[in-house]
């Protein structure tokens, strides 16, 4: 249970579940975010980590024994490692296997290894339903599996709007994050290879030329933090780029941003974008599949060409130069998120799928 959109989805499904569902959350590796575990356990669900070594065959046996012992009605797997081990372990149980839902959270052609894609195709006979967070990933998953589009159920990610609207914003913290800057460009997410942060950092040169008091706020953590910090030093941008690390209260971070710049090489349906829109932060995002399911250029945000420094900078400057456009985009996006990307809708659709697969479970 690390830091990421998929993990947040799991926590939301558990936290907002119907009372007749008794979940048991299993983390295969010993990576955990305490906040998510507190949410899971605080909702009355069980949580356990198996501390498996990645790709060790012994891990499949341990997981198989675990599933056999508890005799679950349904197994819902998420992300490459769990999708692979979970489906194999469940399938090996034969008639005692639980129903299996395999959740593909991002473009499998880019996000997953060739080994995973091969295993996913071979083990599809053990899977009762495939789920994707949006139409783009659903289509790519069907292509990866060599099946028609109807083989993948689309259940869009959602967020708890009340949690964001009811959160008390720390005005002092917001001022601290802005640090007197006239313009604040924000990014929120994991600091990993798939997030194209070098493009965003490079775009700061044009932004600073237009307004020297511009600040880039990078919220999140990950294995590339040290390398990105060094890159900023190399580009002589350290004075304008701030790495906050992981923040418990994201509402403060969103309130500190004038615009969210969502840079990425590939995606599913980014929870960060949904959150920013819910907080009425206008967005500029890389036009990759998954992102374009929620960001409609000129309606709910602006789209920049992927990995294009000039395109990202030009779109950010366009928003700063046209406050009326920024306000229109953020208001339209907010209304769409309220109607179509709620946690309640996501949970209801997921539980309807569960009921189809296990109609007799009580």
CATH classification at residue 291: 3.40.50.2000
Region class of 44: left (phi > 0), else alpha (psi between -120 and 50), else beta: left
Question: Which pLDDT score, from 0 to 100, does residue 248 have?
Answer: 81
Could you give the CA distance from residue 125 to residue 20 in angstroms, rounded to a whole number?
28
Best CA proximity match to 262, nearest among 319, 189, 191: 189
Structure tokens at 1: 């249970």
Structure tokens at 253: 């971070």
CA 248 from chain centre, in angstroms, equals 16
- In this structure, is residue 319 part of a structural domain? yes
- The 10s digit of each residue's pLDDT in 85-125 is 999 999 999 999 999 999 999 999 988 889 889 999 999 99
Question: Which pLDDT score, from 0 to 100, does residue 159 have?
Answer: 93
Could you give the CA distance from residue 154 to residue 24 in angstroms, rounded to a whole number?
23
Best CA proximity match to 203, nearest among 292, 283, 297, 316: 316
What are the residues facing 74 on neighbouring strands?
99
- In this structure, is residue 170 part of a structural domain? yes
Best CA proximity match to 246, nearest among 35, 29, 13: 35
- In this structure, is residue 362 part of a structural domain? no
Question: Which pLDDT score, from 0 to 100, does residue 116 have?
Answer: 86
Query: Same domain, yes or no, for 152 and 217?
Result: no
Any idea what DSSP says for residue 129? Answer: E
- In this structure, is residue 199 part of a structural domain? yes
Count, in order, helices (H) and strands (E) of the chain: 16, 12
Question: Which pLDDT score, from 0 to 100, does residue 12 have?
Answer: 93
Query: Same domain, yes or no, for 200 and 321?
Result: yes
Query: Same domain, yes or no, for 348 and 286?
Result: no
Question: Which pLDDT score, from 0 to 100, does residue 256 have?
Answer: 97
- In this structure, is residue 145 part of a structural domain? yes
Could you give the CA distance from residue 67 to residue 73 in angstroms, rounded to a whole number?
10
Structure tokens at 80: 């490459």
- In this structure, is residue 185 part of a structural domain? yes
- Give ∠ CA 285-288-290 in degrees, rounded to 5: 95
Query: Same domain, yes or no, for 266 and 293?
Result: yes
Question: Which pLDDT score, from 0 to 100, does residue 58 have?
Answer: 81
- The 10s digit of each residue's pLDDT in 53-86 is 776 778 789 899 999 999 999 999 998 889 999 9
Query: Same domain, yes or no, for 111 and 165?
Result: no
Residue where the block lists tokens 């990610």: 157
Domain count, the chain: 2
| Domain around 229 | 161-340
- In this structure, is residue 111 part of a structural domain? yes
Query: Mean pLDDT, consecutive 10-residue segments, the chain of 362 residues?
Result: 76 93 89 79 91 77 92 94 92 95 93 88 95 94 87 94 78 95 96 96 98 97 96 97 92 96 93 94 96 96 98 98 97 95 96 94 52
Query: Same domain, yes or no, for 76 and 172?
Result: no
Residue where the block lists tokens 């069907």: 142
Query: Same domain, yes or no, for 93 and 140?
Result: yes
In Å, how far are 150, 333, 343 from 337, measured between CA atoms? 25, 6, 10
Query: Same domain, yes or no, for 170 and 133?
Result: no
Query: Same domain, yes or no, for 187 and 300?
Result: yes
Query: Same domain, yes or no, for 43 and 125?
Result: yes
Query: Same domain, yes or no, for 24 and 65?
Result: yes
Q: Are 281 and 254 in contact (CB under 8 A)?
A: yes
Which residues, 6+ apart, have CB-to-CB distance to 230 below 8 Å? Answer: none
**pTM, full prediction:** 0.89
Question: Which pLDDT score, from 0 to 100, does residue 166 have?
Answer: 67
- In this structure, is residue 103 part of a structural domain? yes
Question: Which pLDDT score, from 0 to 100, does residue 20 have?
Answer: 92
Residues in the chain: 362
Query: Same domain, yes or no, for 13 and 69?
Result: yes
């Amino acid at each position: 249970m690390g830091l990421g959109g998929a993990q947040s989805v799991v926590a939301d499904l558990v936290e907002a579940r119907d009372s007749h569902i008794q979940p048991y959350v299993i983390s295969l590796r010993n990576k955990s975010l305490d906040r998510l575990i507190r949410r899971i356990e605080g909702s009355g669900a069980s949580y356990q980590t198996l501390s498996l070594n990645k790709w060790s065959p012994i891990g499949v046996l341990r997981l198989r024994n675990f599933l056999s012992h508890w005799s679950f009605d349904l197994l819902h797997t998420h992300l490459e490692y769990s999708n692979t081990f979970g489906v194999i372990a469940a399938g090996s149980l034969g008639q005692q296997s639980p129903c299996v839902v395999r959740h593909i959270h991002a473009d499998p052609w880019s996000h997953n290894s060739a080994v995973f894609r091969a295993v996913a195709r071979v083990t599809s006979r053990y899977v009762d339903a495939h789920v994707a967070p949006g139409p783009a990933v659903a289509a790519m998953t069907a292509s990866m599996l060599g099946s028609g589009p109807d083989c993948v159920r689309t259940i869009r990610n959602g967020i708890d709007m009340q949690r964001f609207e009811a959160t008390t914003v720390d005005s002092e913290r917001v001022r601290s994050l802005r640090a007197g800057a006239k313009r604040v460009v924000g990014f929120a997410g994991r600091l990993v290879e798939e997030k194209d942060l070098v493009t965003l950092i490079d775009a700061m040169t044009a932004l600073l030329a237009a307004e020297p008091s511009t600040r880039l706020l990078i919220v999140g953590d990950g294995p590339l933090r040290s390398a990105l910090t060094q890159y900023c030093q190399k580009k002589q941008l350290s004075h304008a780029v701030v790495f906050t690390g992981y923040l418990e209260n994201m509402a403060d971070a969103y309130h500190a941003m004038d615009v969210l710049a969502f840079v990425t090489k590939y995606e599913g349906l980014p929870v960060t974008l949904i959150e920013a829109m819910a907080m009425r932060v206008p967005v500029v995002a890389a036009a990759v599949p998954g992102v374009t399911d929620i960001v409609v250029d000129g309606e709910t945000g602006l789209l920049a060409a992927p990995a294009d420094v000039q395109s990202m900078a030009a779109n950010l400057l366009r928003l700063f130069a046209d406050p009326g456009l920024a306000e229109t985009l953020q208001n339209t996006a907010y209304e769409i998120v309220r109607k179509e990307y709620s946690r309640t809708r996501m949970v209801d659709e997921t539980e309807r799928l569960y009921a189809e697969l296990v109609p007799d479970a009580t």
